[in-house]
């Protein structure tokens, strides 16, 4: 009986070990040790550059990296490491490799040079496809980019290059390359589910002949695309057109008429929200800055008492500071400082974000002492509340204040 129990325990242990062994096996040592192991085994290092707050990072860690097919491929071909870019060794590696998007998935040779890169969350098949490209020098992003810059415009090559920059989430290059591909062939060639990504990557502007062709075929597009993809294809083009129109038109009536006309062409489920947003663009373009500010504050005051109201004001603060015309208005900035001070004095609902706003506003006014004081209070209170004090928005603010 004892022997039987021992055998059962051993079998159970092997079963559990098999279950937990599935997926990518990440090293637990230093990055230097990973490079040394890669050199010894003649492999590349695969490094998952993640942060604790990144949604796609969590998706990869929970749903993709644990898959058996992913683990089988990566464990065989790479030395795998995970690095939090905001903690420990990850901070220096973040600076070394200039990581700005998360997750960034780097394939690094034994000398520490990045030979290939992927960006963002992706299904297992795309991750493995990207890993295979990393093992083929002819398919690495650096090689493809050099060939493109040298003038290679072979259609098969352009498709390969488009897929590579798509895996990098390089939207600007995607648009350029996709337009070249369509110009070399035809728009109609890609009006199918499998290759529609070529059209969506191109991002044809409203009013272009390609956009008009897509609009004429919108019923067919609805059948071959996902709802989000369909809405984005047309919605983003229409909104970009209306944003520009809001800056150039002579009256709000003209703007509303154009918005309604576009709505008839392509119905907008958020028409009233769109009109409100465009109205604010019109006010700034026409230097009606106090009108912009008064309406924004009135709108924020109407939501007082609602959970998260402080974030409405925080967004206004950011809009003021990133819009040159508004940031130059001393009366607007000074008035908003008073609002931020009121929030900062509210220990229950506003002390954290109120001090964040004050730190940004005083930074804008180049008052280092007040900016640093507000920032220090934010750090203390945010830490007590379990907030993320290593988020890039926080660390960048600290660096900017220190430089004053």
Does the annotation count 49 as an active-site position? no
Phi/psi region, residue 103 (left: phi>0; alpha: psi -120 to 50; beta: rest), is beta
CA 152 to chain centroid, in Å, comes to 30
Give the contacts of 315 (CB within 8 A, at least 6 positions apart): none
Q: How far apart are CA 272 and CA 249, in angstroms?
A: 19
- In 249-308, which residue ranges form alpha helices assigned H by DSSP? 252-265, 271-285, 289-302
Which are the contacts of 173, defined by CB distance < 8 A and separation ≥ 6? 165
Cα end-to-end span (Å), the chain: 76
Among 378, 325, 329, 402, which Cα is nearest to 337's? 329
**Among candidate residues 34, 52, 30, the one with its CA nearest the CA of residue 44:** 34
Task: Look up 57 and say whether it is catalytic.
Answer: yes
Q: Which candidate in 16, 49, 57, 213 is catalytic?
A: 57
Element (H or E) spanning 151, and its range?
none
Query: What distance in Å separates the CA atoms of residue 360 and residue 322, rounded to the nearest whole number?
Result: 11
Q: How many angstroms from the chain centroid is the CA of residue 197?
A: 19
CA distances to 143, 148, 180, 200 from 157, rounded to whole Å, are 12, 9, 12, 19
Catalytic residue among 54, 249, 262, 317: 54
**Strand, coil or helix: what is 83?**
strand
Query: Quick one: tokens of 43?
Result: 């492999």
Catalytic residues: 54, 57
């Amino acid at each position: 009986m004892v022997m039987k129990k021992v055998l059962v325990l051993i079998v159970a242990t092997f079963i559990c070990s098999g279950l937990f062994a599935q997926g990518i096996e990440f090293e637990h040592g230093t990055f230097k040790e990973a490079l040394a192991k890669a050199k010894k085994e003649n492999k590349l290092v695969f490094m998952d550059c993640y942060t604790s707050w990144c949604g796609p990072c969590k998706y990869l860690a929970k749903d993709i990296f644990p898959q058996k097919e992913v683990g089988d491929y990566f464990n065989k071909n790479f030395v795998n490491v995970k690095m939090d870019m905001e903690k420990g060794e990850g901070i220096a590696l973040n600076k070394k490799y200039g990581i700005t998007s998360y997750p960034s998935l780097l394939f690094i040779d034994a000398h520490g040079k990045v030979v290939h890169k992927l960006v963002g969350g992706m299904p297992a098949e795309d991750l493995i496809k990207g890993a295979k490209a990393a093992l083929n020098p002819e398919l690495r992003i650096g090689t493809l980019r050099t060939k493109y810059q040298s003038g290679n415009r072979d259609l098969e090559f352009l498709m390969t290059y488009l897929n590579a920059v798509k895996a990098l989430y390089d939207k600007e290059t995607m648009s350029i390359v996709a337009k070249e591909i369509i110009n070399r062939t035809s728009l109609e060639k890609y009006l199918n589910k499998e290759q529609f990504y070529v059209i969506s990557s191109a991002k044809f502007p409203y009013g272009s002949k390609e956009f008009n062709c897509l609009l004429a075929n919108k019923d067919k597009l609805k059948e071959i695309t996902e709802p989000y993809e369909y809405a984005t294809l047309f919605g983003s083009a229409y909104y970009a057109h209306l944003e520009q129109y809001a800056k150039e038109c002579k009256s709000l009536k003209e703007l509303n008429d154009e918005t309604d006309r576009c709505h008839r062409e392509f119905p907008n489920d958020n028409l009233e929200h769109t009109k409100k947003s465009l109205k604010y663009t019109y006010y700034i373009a026409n230097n009606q800055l106090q009108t912009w500010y008064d309406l924004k504050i009135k709108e924020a005051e109407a939501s007082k008492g609602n959970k998260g109201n402080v974030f409405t004001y925080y967004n206004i603060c950011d809009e003021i500071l990133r819009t040159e015309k508004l940031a130059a208005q001393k009366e607007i900035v000074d008035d908003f400082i008073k609002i931020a001070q009121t929030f900062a004095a509210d220990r229950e609902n506003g002390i954290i974000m109120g001090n964040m706003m004050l730190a940004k506003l005083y930074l804008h006014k180049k008052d280092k002492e007040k900016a640093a004081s507000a920032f220090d209070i934010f750090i203390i209170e945010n830490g007590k509340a379990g907030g993320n004090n290593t988020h890039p928005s926080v660390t960048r603010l600290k660096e900017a204040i220190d430089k004053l």
